């Protein structure tokens, strides 16, 4: 049976790191003591090299999606079996579609199949849901009649018409946004958890085989001051090391992450952590991901920390080994825009996790090289303007040269952007058993063959300014009594159409307590509806 684990990028990274353990000393000061003195010396030398080599990417390749599709996220997989990475894209589409795109191995994509939906689909995952050996797509339709659906995989990279596996009869939850799949009850098939954006909960459906699902459990988000939490994305991983798949999610409205542990096939109540205070602000947390950042064998959590006044930040919630995350380390993110998406990946094969970030207003894709793991310190190398809201970014080897390339989407601009990684790879054992390093010469040749102006890197951060926030963003969307970064995160997360010029020209106002009078007049229902759409 197909394991659901292989669809999760952090596991791919973990596999890559496992392959490249000899390079793990770079930026991992804490692991020096486990190595022999000779290896330490080599490690120090390698670290020095790693710290000096900037991340470099080739010219961007863009694929524009059809109107009026508003992409929200994607998953990468070789759908049609041609050895090249393809895409499945979820989105908010008045024409009710999900899209699959065929990759050409060079970062370009062409339409493969249009899948029908009923309502917006903010998330999708690949998994063999029916156990037939073919990969399926599982997604959730948002809207007034929410449903969890499976598009069964067919031969040749096609998918069948959707099968509704959970509707309101099974308690699918209000406005399902995020999806996580995994064998949560350890019975051999793939189960589903969805986040209920308006329902403030997570709904767990167990797969009984043959696409027959039952609702097992609802896990409510914890309370925070009475505002809306608006849970968004979910990732799975064995957080507490007990051998089963736990959940981590973020709450857009609460500026929090939720950790939900799996205990013998049932989930505990959410344990929630707040983003740390940055200056005088509490950040908005627009995503939450898992990765073993410090290489200590357990999964840590990292999240983009959207702030209004200062440099954007990334928060590392460090796992103490038991699934608790009391230690929070703040690293610098993009120095412009409002960070919305982030991905840690070893982009230079030096054994540590570098970072790519997607921002809004202005839309930016930025690459940050790890300088010190323990301090969560990065140096921003690449900086590329891209649309107005980079909703999702990821790193995959789409060109088959054994290093991780960038794939990202701009929601309002309906665009996929890819950039080939041409960073000199470190470590003899890195990516694809050393092929990354061996391919260095090829990549350098490739770089030289590109017109110089097409390699857009290292734009001085100071030359970028932050676009003013539209007035629409400055509203107490989560209804907690203040307008702050969480509200901006909710607003960005709720966009479903292009940002208009007029919206961007509005002069920003500082974060302030919400106008109580206006708030009294505001219908809660209208608010919730608006945020959901």
Partner 1 sequence: MKLLRCAHGLLSALAVGAIAHAAPAQCPVPGDCREVHATPGCEQPECCTLVCEFDPSCCSIEWSEICVKAALELCEGISCPSAGACDVIHPNAGCADFDCCELITTLDGWCTYAAWDELCALEAEMLCGVAPCVINTVGVDESEPCYKRLNDGWGVGLVAARIPFSCELGMKGKIADGGPRDLEWFELDGSTRRRVRFTFEAEFPIELQYMLGPEDGPNEVKWLVGEPLCEGPRTVQFLTEPGTSTLILGTGNRERAYREGLDCDEINPDFPPEPDDPPPFAVYGLRWQMTAECLALADIDGDGAVGAADLSLLLAAWGELDPSEEFDPRQPDADLDGDGAVGASDLSLLLASW
Residue 375 makes contact with partner 1 by CB under 8 A: no
Rounded Cα–Cα distance for residues 57 and 413 (Å) = 22
For the bound state, the minimum distance from the C-beta of residue 350 to partner 1, rounded and expressed in Å, comes to 33
Place of tokens 């010396």: 41
Which of 273, 376, 384, 398 is close enough to bind partner 1 by CB under 8 A?
273
Residue 225 makes contact with partner 1 by CB under 8 A: yes
CA 193, 407, 81: angle at the middle one, nearest 5? Answer: 75
Residue 368 makes contact with partner 1 by CB under 8 A: no
For the bound state, the minimum distance from the C-beta of residue 169 to partner 1, rounded and expressed in Å, comes to 6
Q: On the CB side of 314, how many CA atoms lie within 13 Å of its CA?
A: 34
Residue 105: partners with Cβ closer than 8 Å, 6 or more residues away: 83, 84, 85, 398, 399, 400
Number of other CB atoms surrounding residue 292 within 10 Å: 18
Residue 243 makes contact with partner 1 by CB under 8 A: no
Among the candidate windows 23-31, 356-364, 476-484, 500-508, which touches partner 1 by CB under 8 A?
476-484
Which of 87, 270, 329, 364 is close enough to bind partner 1 by CB under 8 A?
270
Q: Per the structure block, which two tokens stand in for 276?
A: 């740390």
Backbone angles phi, psi at 481, to 5 degrees: 100, -10
Burial of 442 (0-12, 13-18, 19+ CB in 10 A): exposed
Among the candidate windows 81-89, 137-145, 359-367, 453-461, which touches partner 1 by CB under 8 A?
137-145
Residue 40 makes contact with partner 1 by CB under 8 A: no
CB contact at 8 A, 139 and 89: no
Q: Which is nearer to partner 1, 11 or 92 (CB)?
A: 92
Residue 223 makes contact with partner 1 by CB under 8 A: yes
Among the candidate windows 22-30, 199-207, 296-304, 453-461, which touches partner 1 by CB under 8 A?
199-207
Residue 476 makes contact with partner 1 by CB under 8 A: yes
Among the candidate windows 139-147, 244-252, 399-407, 453-461, which touches partner 1 by CB under 8 A?
139-147
CA 455 to chain centre: 25
Rounded Cα–Cα distance for residues 334 and 390 (Å) = 12
Which x/- pattern, by CB under 8 A, does the window 90-129 give for partner 1?
Answer: ----------------------------------------
Within residues 320-349, the interface with partner 1 by CB under 8 A covers 324-326, 328
Residue 34 makes contact with partner 1 by CB under 8 A: no
For the bound state, the minimum distance from the C-beta of residue 515 to partner 1, rounded and expressed in Å, comes to 8
Which of 276, 400, 508, 530 is close enough to bind partner 1 by CB under 8 A?
276
Q: On the CB side of 464, how many CA atoms lie within 13 Å of its CA?
A: 25
Dmax of the chain from CA atoms?
Answer: 70
For the bound state, the minimum distance from the C-beta of residue 11 to partner 1, rounded and expressed in Å, comes to 25
CB contact at 8 A, 304 and 286: yes
Which of 481, 506, 508, 530 is close enough to bind partner 1 by CB under 8 A?
481
Residue 533 makes contact with partner 1 by CB under 8 A: no
SS3 437: helix
Which of 87, 112, 179, 198 is close enough to bind partner 1 by CB under 8 A?
198
Got the DSSP string for 447-516?
HHHS-GGG------GGG--PPPPPGGGSS-TT-SSB-SHHHHHHHHHH--SPPPHHHHHSPP----B--H
Among the candidate windows 32-40, 108-116, 124-132, 475-483, which touches partner 1 by CB under 8 A?
475-483
For the bound state, the minimum distance from the C-beta of residue 319 to partner 1, rounded and expressed in Å, comes to 12
Number of other CB atoms surrounding residue 268 within 10 Å: 15
Closest CA to 369 of 76, 57, 44: 57
Which of 218, 458, 461, 533 is close enough to bind partner 1 by CB under 8 A?
218
Within residues 248-267, the interface with partner 1 by CB under 8 A covers 256, 259, 263-264, 266
For the bound state, the minimum distance from the C-beta of residue 519 to partner 1, rounded and expressed in Å, comes to 5
Residue 168 makes contact with partner 1 by CB under 8 A: yes
Residue 513 makes contact with partner 1 by CB under 8 A: yes
For the bound state, the minimum distance from the C-beta of residue 226 to partner 1, rounded and expressed in Å, comes to 3
Residue 480 makes contact with partner 1 by CB under 8 A: yes
Which helix H or strand E contains 531, and what residues bound it? helix 524-532
SS3 90: strand
SS3 429: coil
Q: Which is nearer to partner 1, 154 or 168 (CB)?
A: 168
Backbone angles phi, psi at 398, to 5 degrees: -85, -15
Q: How many of the chain's residues bind partner 1 (CB under 8 A)?
A: 63
Phi/psi-derived region of residue 225, left when phi > 0, alpha when psi is between -120 and 50, beta in every other case: left
Residues that bind partner 1 (CB under 8 A): 143-146, 167-169, 171, 174, 198-201, 218, 220, 222-228, 256, 259, 263-264, 266, 268-274, 276, 281-282, 324-326, 328, 476, 479-482, 484, 511, 513-517, 519-525, 527-529
């Amino acid at each position: 049976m197909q394991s659901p684990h292989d669809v999760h990028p952090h596991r791919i990274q973990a596999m890559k790191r496992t392959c490249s353990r000899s390079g793990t000393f770079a930026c991992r000061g804490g692991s020096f003591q486990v190595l022999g003195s000779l290896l330490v010396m080599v490690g120090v030398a390698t670290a020095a090299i790693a710290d000096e080599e900037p991340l470099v990417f080739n010219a961007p390749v863009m694929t524009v999606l059809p109107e009026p599709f508003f992409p929200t996220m994607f998953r990468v997989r070789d759908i049609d079996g041609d050895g090249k990475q393809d895409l499945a894209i979820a989105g908010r589409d008045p024409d009710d579609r999900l899209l699959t795109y065929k990759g050409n191995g060079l970062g370009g994509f062409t339409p493969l199949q249009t899948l029908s939906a009923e309502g917006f689909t903010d998330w999708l995952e690949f998994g063999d849901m029916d156990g037939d050996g073919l990969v399926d797509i599982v997604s959730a339709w948002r809207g007034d009649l929410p449903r969890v659906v499976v598009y069964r995989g067919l031969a040749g990279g096609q998918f069948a018409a959707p099968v509704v596996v959970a509707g309101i009869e099974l308690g699918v939850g209000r406005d399902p946004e995020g999806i996580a799949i995994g064998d949560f009850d350890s019975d051999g098939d793939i189960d589903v958890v969805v986040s209920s954006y308006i329902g403030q909960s997570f709904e767990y459906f167990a797969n009984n085989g043959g696409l027959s699902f039952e609702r097992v459990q609802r896990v409510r988000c914890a309370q925070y001051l009475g505002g809306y939490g608006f849970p968004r994305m979910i990732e799975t991983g064995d957080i507490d090391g007990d051998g089963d798949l736990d959940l981590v999610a973020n709450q857009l409205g609460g500026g929090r992450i939720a950790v939900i542990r799996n205990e013998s096939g049932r989930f505990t109540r959410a344990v929630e952590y707040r983003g740390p205070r940055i200056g005088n602000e509490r950040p908005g947390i627009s995503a939450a991901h898992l990765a073993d950042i410090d290489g200590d064998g357990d999964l840590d959590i990292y999240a983009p920390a959207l702030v209004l006044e200062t440099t954007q930040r990334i928060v590392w919630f460090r796992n103490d080994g038991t699934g608790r995350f009391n230690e929070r380390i703040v690293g610098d993110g993009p120095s412009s825009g409002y960070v919305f998406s982030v991905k840690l990946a070893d982009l230079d094969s030096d054994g540590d996790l570098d970072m790519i970030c997607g921002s809004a207003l202005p839309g930016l894709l930025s690459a940050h090289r790890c300088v010190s793991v323990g301090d969560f310190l990065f140096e921003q190398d690449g900086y590329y303007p891209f649309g107005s809201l980079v909703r999702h970014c990821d790193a995959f080897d789409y060109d088959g040269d054994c290093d991780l390339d960038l794939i990202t989407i701009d929601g309002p601009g309906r665009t996929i952007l890819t950039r080939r990684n041409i960073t000199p790879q470190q470590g003899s054992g890195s990516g694809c058993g050393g092929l990354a390093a061996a391919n260095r010469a090829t990549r350098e040749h490739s770089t030289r063959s590109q017109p110089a102006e097409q390699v857009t890197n290292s734009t001085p951060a100071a030359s970028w300014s932050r676009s003013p926030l539209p007035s629409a963003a400055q509203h107490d969307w989560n209804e907690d009594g203040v307008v702050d970064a969480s509200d901006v995160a909710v607003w960005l997360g709720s966009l479903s159409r292009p940002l208009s010029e007029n919206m961007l020209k509005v002069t920003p106002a500082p974060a302030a307590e919400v106008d109580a009078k206006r708030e009294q007049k505001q219908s809660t229902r209208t608010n919730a509806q608006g945020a959901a759409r």
